[in-house]
Amino acid sequence: MADVKRVKVVPMLWMLLGCLLLFGGIFAFKFFGKYMMNKAFDNMPLPAATVTATAVEYQRWRQQLTAVGSLRAVNGVDVTTQAEGVVQAIHFESGDRVKKGALLVELAARPEEAQLKVLQAELLLARRNYQRISELHTKGVATDAELDDTLSKLQQIQASLEVQHATIAERHITAPFSGRLGVRKVDLGQNVSPGDPVVSLVQLQPIFADFALPERNFAQIKLKLPVAIRTGAFPDKSFPGRITAIDPKVDPDSRNFFVQATLDNPDQLLRPGMFADVTVDLAGERRLLVVPRTAVQFAPYGNAVFVLVKNKQGDGLVAQKRLVKLGEERGDLVEIVRGAKEGERVATSGLLKLRNGGAVTINNDNKPPAELNPRPDNS
């Protein structure tokens, strides 16, 4: 009986062993095929990336400093009332240009004007009394005390008249300087109090541009240096001016110092509060290496460019990634302080397709802009 069982078990073991060998061979074949396929893909050369390119070149740039600031009126105030009263007349329209001393608003002043007439009558009487006492004093009839008393009364009335004239003048609100008015803030019949705003007034010609520069530039900034201002409202227009004031101290928090330029504004295009993109022209020029801004791959760990060099066979180009140190930027160009040499070709577009050592072909049919002073079409 035991021999019969042994005879049945042996074929089953051989059958299991055969199945294991069969399936093991299948899995081994598939694994080997996948390995060879991955190896073939890894060794397969990537197609060449198509890019635009330009040469690193020297240019001469006029020495300039750039800053961001804002425009400010030479004079700008809210015209207010000095007295309490009812608005009797308004002599301007919102947005008018006015001259210094122009009458803007009148407040009702009937009681003050009536009191003025009373004082004028008292002044007339005081003058007659003083003249009469003076004549009597000359004849020796009036005493010195009487003459001094009438003179004192006359001077008191004259002083009261001056106060009354000033009180009435406060009810005539005038422009403190020439400029352009803003929006009217009072209405006819409105009762106003001292300090209430009537209208804003700004002097637009000339106009100030205030901006800040780093302390390292303090020695370079001088009075009367020319500046050019651009604003968002007129991006295609440059407004010339000159530096007229330099703050003598440096802000200890920002390590910047403040500068003020004055600009002619005859057409009054520039308005207080506008953003100002300021360029300060310094004396002299400097020679520097430049590339288009689009050629630089900006990254937190360092900026880089892809220099295009010949491959080992000498029949094509490959990209060589190189870290660079950047300097001044102007328009579409950026200065290369270190990392590239004159005449080397750098990729200016398609940088995301490039890898270090990857094949490259150049097609400059549609090169990106590379202007020192670009004039974009805003239409």
Between residues 12 and 322, the one the model is more confident about:
322
Kindly report, residue by residue over 338-379, the tens digit of the pLDDT: 988 999 999 988 888 888 888 888 888 888 877 766 665 554
Between residues 373 and 40, the one the model is more confident about:
373
CB-CB neighbours of 213 under 10 Å: 21
Q: What is the pLDDT of residue 379?
A: 41
Yes or no: say if 309 and 320 are a contact pair by the CB < 8 Å rule: yes
Structural domains of the chain, with CATH: 49-61+287-362 (2.40.420.20), 66-72+198-285 (2.40.30.170), 82-196 (no CATH)
Q: What is this structure's pTM?
A: 0.60
Q: What is the pLDDT of residue 282?
A: 85
Region of residue 314 (phi > 0: left; psi between -120 and 50: alpha; otherwise: beta):
left
In eight-state DSSP terms, residue 297 is B
Yes or no: say if 71 and 272 are a contact pair by the CB < 8 Å rule: yes
How many angstroms separate the CA atoms of 51 and 367, rounded? 9
Band (pLDDT 50/70/90 cuts) for residue 38 is low
How many angstroms separate the CA atoms of 293 and 333, rounded? 5
Q: What is the pLDDT of residue 109?
A: 67
